[in-house]
Amino acid sequence: MVLGFSPCPNDTFIFDALVHGKIDAEGLRFDWFMEDVESLNRRAMKGDGDVLKVSYHAWLYLQDNYVLLDSGSALGTGNGPLLIAMKSYSPEELAGMTIAIPGEYTTAHLLLKLALPGARLKKILLFSRIEEAILNGEVDAGVIIHENRFTYQDKGLVKIMDLGEWWEVRTSQPLPLGGIVAKKSLGFETIHGLNRVMRRSVEQALKDPSGAMPFVRCNAQEMNDEVMMKHIRLYVNEYTVDLGIKGKEAIRTLVEKFEQRGYGLTGSVQRYP
């Protein structure tokens, strides 16, 4: 089956054991590839891929064809996307500014819409280009994800809002960022096997972190080991092993807020590579 995940440290960390034969895969075989999360979201929208890492925002549109696995998710506290710029701006000022987002269907974009509904001018950029776009004046502000949350200050950029903190204050729940989905057409037995295998892969990485690091290093945007480990510790936690009751409740809350607002894609959004 076709498996897709991102090259970000938390994904390569949890998938290392699976793709390198370090665990019992129960006879399941994978042709795997890596792409940025928005590309994976769009593949899933087209049904292109059997098992994919996707944003929870994208998951809201995928439930007819894909089931969410209990293992492999990125949820937690203190790990949300950050809205940054060259200087701080008020919500009123941001309403008239262009804000870079890392993808239409990213959870970062959904949180921005929930937190700042007046901010409607957006420009879609690859997540790794957003800081550069702010610095060169291409956009006024941007929402950053992944390793960039640890390095933006080194480039003279400032935080306007922590969107994860905004969520946590209002819901008292962990923030659902991304999860692993499997095609319903794979069937009940295969999907349950995928759940077991995915959990084994996560547990193996947590048991032997140093064993997964060569795979993490060769794919990470930031090659600094300290930054990579901060990233992994932030996004790989108890909810990655198993969503559990609290994780599933947080996902239900995200669904409810999405449905209450009636959100689709609104405002002026340009797509760029």
Mean pLDDT of 21-32: 97
**Tens-place pLDDT, residues 247-268:** 999 999 998 888 887 654 433 3
Q: In sequence order, which residues have a C-beta less than 8 Å from that of residue 253 and are 6 or more positions away?
A: 171, 173
Read off the pLDDT of residues 168-192 as tens digits, 9 standing for 90 and up: 999 999 999 999 999 999 999 999 9
Q: pTM of the predicted model, to two decimals?
A: 0.89
Q: Which of 97, 35, 269, 80 is nearest to 171 (CA)?
A: 80
* pLDDT (0 to 100) of residue 223: 65
Q: pLDDT value at position 263?
A: 58
Cα 98 to Cα 135, 143, 270, distances in angstroms: 13, 11, 10
For residue 205, pLDDT over 80 is answered with: yes
Q: Quick check: do 2-76+174-261 and 82-172+263-271 share a fold?
A: yes
CATH number of the structural domain 2-76+174-261:
3.40.190.10
Q: Is 20 a catalytic residue?
A: no
**Which sequence spans correspond to the domains of the chain?**
2-76+174-261, 82-172+263-271
82-172+263-271 has which CATH code? 3.40.190.10
**Is residue 231 very low, low, confident or very high in pLDDT (cuts 50, 70, 90)?**
confident
Q: pLDDT tens-digit profile of 1-20?
A: 999 999 999 999 999 999 99
pLDDT tens profile 46-63 = 999 999 999 999 999 999
Catalytic choice (20, 57, 109, 146): 146
pLDDT digits (tens, 9 = 90+) for 131-159: 999 999 999 999 998 777 778 898 999 99
177: its two tokens? 């960022």
Distances (CA, A) of 49 to 42, 117, 129: 10, 33, 26
